[in-house]
Amino acid sequence: MTAVVPPYGPAPADPDPGGAGATPEPGRGTPPYGLAPADLPAYVYDLAALDGHAAAVRATLPGIELYYAVKANPDPELLRVLARHVDGFEVSSAGELAHVRGLLPDVPTALGGPGKTEAELTADVTRLHVESPGELRRLLASGRRADVLLRVNLDVPVGGASLAMGGGATPFGMDPADVARCAAALEGQDRVRLRGVHAHLASGLAAAELLRLAGAVLEYARALGVTEVNLGGGMAVSYADPDDRFDWRSYGEGLARLRRPGEVLRIEPGRSLTAYCGRYVTRVLDVKRVHGELFAVVAGGTHHLRTPAAKGHSQPMAPLPPGGPVTIAGQLCTPKDVLARRAPVALAPGDVVEFTMAGAYAWNISHHGFLMHPPPSFRYLGRPSA
């Protein structure tokens, strides 16, 4: 296990780890995965499960380039596993690029995201996603060589999305008129080479809706005269029903039908690759009833696992005895520090609670420094053989 040292010094020892002298039921207070009580809260990443899932996804996408969106989870151990199955990594900052290069110096990289700095615009990457005419002007003025995709924000309806980056006015990409002007600006020179378009329009979509959008993007790209298309990610992940998985097989078959000879199609999923391999394990510190509502306060909280606050859901959990309903809150001094609301489970001080689907947009997006609580520890299970 790799433990993280608290950035503000070691946490004081808990004189009453069971909470007010309470004694949990046998087994309910025993941490899983070989963790000790002092290790909690902890992130547990199942690398073998990630390896198997990534291999299965890869198998459904013959002829399609698969990049991983590092923003979903940049944990080095996860990146090393994913590197066995993906064609490259999509990064959104110089920091992410340096992180990936430090681990995997030869892996292909695509750099995207709005508001690029000079260092990011001129970085040595496989593909640079240009977000605006201003970015392109600065890139051309730099004199650097680059292979670029122009990010287009198509005015197409995006139905059922959990988060929309396109289909209307957003800070992401350009409308088709500006893309056309950028393409014209690239004519007559060979330093900045137009390779195609990028179009990540929405997140949280089922395969059928993603394929509908892919068809619209491909129709646009063909009219523009380019043959390389990055369709982004956006594959749906259901926290309400963890067994409701994205249909990779039908998506891969649909992309195969859409792709014409000579075209390069690339996707860059993030959450849908890593969400299922992570768990956040903690323990109950206190249970109380306030104005008739039952609350369980656990060690840690949304400063470790911000996903439920960011997405507005109750984080799924491993099975617990029935009871409740109980709202599971963290240690922060804010009513927004809630991991699950009105969960139908029985909890007592000292009980271990295991939140599932914590492998994406979890630790890395959380506000770690708020209140200066110590960070979690990390454990990695089942490292795949080389």
- 215 token code pair: 């068809």
Q: Is 334 exposed, middle or buried (0-12, 13-18, 19+ CB in 10 A)?
A: middle
- Across 115-191, the runs of DSSP E, i.e. the strands, are 127-130, 146-151, 163-164
- Other Cβ atoms less than 10 A from the Cβ of 293: the count is 12
Q: Which of 209, 273, 212 is nearest to 245 (CA)?
A: 273
Please report, as a single letter, which amino acid is at residue 102. Answer: G
3-class secondary-structure state, position 187: coil
Among residues 84, 77, 79, 80, which one has the least CA distance to residue 58?
84
38 C-beta neighbours (distance < 10 Å), count: 13
Does residue 333 have an active-site annotation?
yes
Nearest one of 359, 311, 305 to 328, comparing CA atoms: 305
Q: How far apart are CA 100 and CA 89, in angstroms?
A: 8
Strand partners, 377: 42
Please state, in angstroms and rounded to a whole number, the distance separating the CA atoms of residues 238 and 357: 9
Angle at 337 between CA 332 and CA 343, to 5 degrees: 130
- Radius of gyration of the chain, Cα coordinates, nearest whole angstrom: 23
Report the candidate in 17, 10, 64 with the shortest Cα–Cα distance to residue 40: 17
Please identify which of the residues 333, 335, 385, 386 carries the catalytic annotation: 333
Active-site annotation, residues: 333
